[in-house]
């Protein structure tokens, strides 16, 4: 079956612009996670959804970052007033129940010029 | 959150077993240890997890010491496609399932 899909695969933007990154989880998975991975580092947790609600957003670095999952399926990570330091690969993962077994997408590579 | 420690890199000859160690001395009695790997330019891939008994699946085996302070991931017959960064991950203390990745071990399988 289909895995986790993330679009776009690459996004280039200019400093100060707004971007949206999309994640389509595996059908039926109630849990959805966003992570960010900088070059040479392990992924870093950003936010966790259980259904439509953000159950843990402790990893969001500041209020420029926001994520939604309005119908409990597709999620969008939104970044306002992008900065060069936001350049990274943004990974999405889904899980049937919110456990440590997660299925990751290939990520969106964001480059802020 | 349980902290894990892994060597930064390891080499393995193709066809031989790859044994990847991990220390997780702060893990508590009912917390699982998870292993993931990340092949270049891909998202992380779940491999295996365990609590206190040894585990085996089609990808790997996981040996956990009796005191649960360390574990070893075993790839029984490494292939070139097993070249990746391997992450040993302790659980999130808030029970949300979020994964706290460290630096992992870069395994290079050589012909």
- Cβ count within 10 A of residue B39: 13
CA nearest to B101 within chain A: A42
Average pLDDT over residues A2-16: 96
Q: What angle do CA B32, B102, B49 make, to 5 degrees?
A: 25
- Long-range contact pairs involving A42-45 (C-beta distance under 8 Å, separation at least 24): A42/B85, A42/B87, A42/B101, A42/B102, A42/B103, A42/B104, A43/A91, A43/B44, A43/B99, A43/B101, A44/B101, A45/B98, A45/B99, A45/B100
Give me the pLDDT at residue B94, please.
67
State chain B's mean pLDDT as an integer.
91
Size of the A and B interface in Cβ pairs below 8 Å = 62
A86: phi then psi, degrees, rounded to nearest 5: -80, -10
The band of A1, judged by pLDDT with boundaries at 50, 70 and 90, is low
CB-CB under 8 Å, A59 with B43: no
What's the whole-number mean pLDDT along residues B16-21? 98
Would you call A100 and B49 a contact, using CB atoms and an 8 Å cutoff? yes
Cβ pair B3, B23 in contact under 8 A: no
Interface of A with B (CB under 8 A): 4, 31, 33, 35, 41-45, 48, 55-56, 59, 91, 93, 95, 97-107
Of B41, B94, B99, the CB nearest to A102: B99
Give the residue with greater pLDDT, B90 vs B59: B59
Q: Considering only CA atoms, which of A8, A12, A21 is closest in space to residue A78?
A: A21
Say if CB B24 and CB B69 are below 8 A apart: yes
pLDDT tens-place string over residues A19-47: 999 999 999 999 999 999 999 999 999 99
Contacts of A97 in chain B (CB under 8 A): 97
User: Using one digit for the tens of pLDDT, what is the confidence trace for A45-103?
Assistant: 999 999 999 989 999 999 999 999 999 999 999 999 999 999 999 999 999 987 789 99
Which of A45, A106, A107 faces B99 most closely, judged by CB atoms?
A45
As a whole number of angstroms, the distance between CA B59 and CA B44 comes to 14
> Rg of the Cα trace of chain B?
13
Q: Return the residue matching tokens 């959150």.
A: B1
pLDDT (tens digit per residue) in B44-54: 999 999 988 89
- Tell me the pLDDT band of B31, cut-offs 50, 70 and 90: confident
| A35, A44, A56 member nearest B96 (Cβ) | A56
Residues of B in contact with A104 (CB under 8 A): 43-45
In this structure, are residues B104 and B18 in contact, taking their beta carbons and an 8 Å threshold? no
**Which carries the bigger pLDDT value, residue B12 or residue B96?**
B12
d(CA A33, CA A14): 26
Q: What is the pLDDT of residues B70-103, one digit of tens each?
A: 999 999 999 999 999 999 998 776 678 889 898 9
Is it the case that residue B28 has pLDDT exceeding 80?
no
| Rounded-to-integer distance, Cα A76 and Cα A34, Å | 10
């Amino acid at each position: 079956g289909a895995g986790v899909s993330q679009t776009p695969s690459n996004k280039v933007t200019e400093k100060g612009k707004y971007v949206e990154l999309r994640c389509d989880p595996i059908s039926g998975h109630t849990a959805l996670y966003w992570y960010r991975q900088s070059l040479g580092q392990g992924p870093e947790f950003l936010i966790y959804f259980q259904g439509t609600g953000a159950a843990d957003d402790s990893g969001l670095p500041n209020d420029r970052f926001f994520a939604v999952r309005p119908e409990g399926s597709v999620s969008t990570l939104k970044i306002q007033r992008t900065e060069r330091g936001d350049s990274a690969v943004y990974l999405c993962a889904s899980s049937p129940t919110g456990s440590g077994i997660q299925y990751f997408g290939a990520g969106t590579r964001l480059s802020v010029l | 959150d349980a902290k894990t420690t892994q060597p930064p890199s390891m080499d393995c000859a193709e066809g031989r077993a790859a044994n990847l160690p991990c220390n997780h001395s702060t893990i508590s009695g009912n917390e699982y240890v998870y292993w993931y790997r990340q092949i270049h330019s891909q998202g992380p891939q779940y491999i295996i997890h365990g609590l206190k008994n040894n585990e085996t699946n089609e990808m790997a085996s996981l040996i956990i010491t009796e005191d649960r302070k360390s574990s070893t991931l075993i790839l029984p017959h490494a292939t070139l496609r097993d070249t990746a960064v391997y992450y040993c991950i302790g659980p999130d203390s808030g029970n949300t399932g979020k994964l706290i990745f460290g630096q992992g071990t870069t395994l290079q399988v050589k012909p």
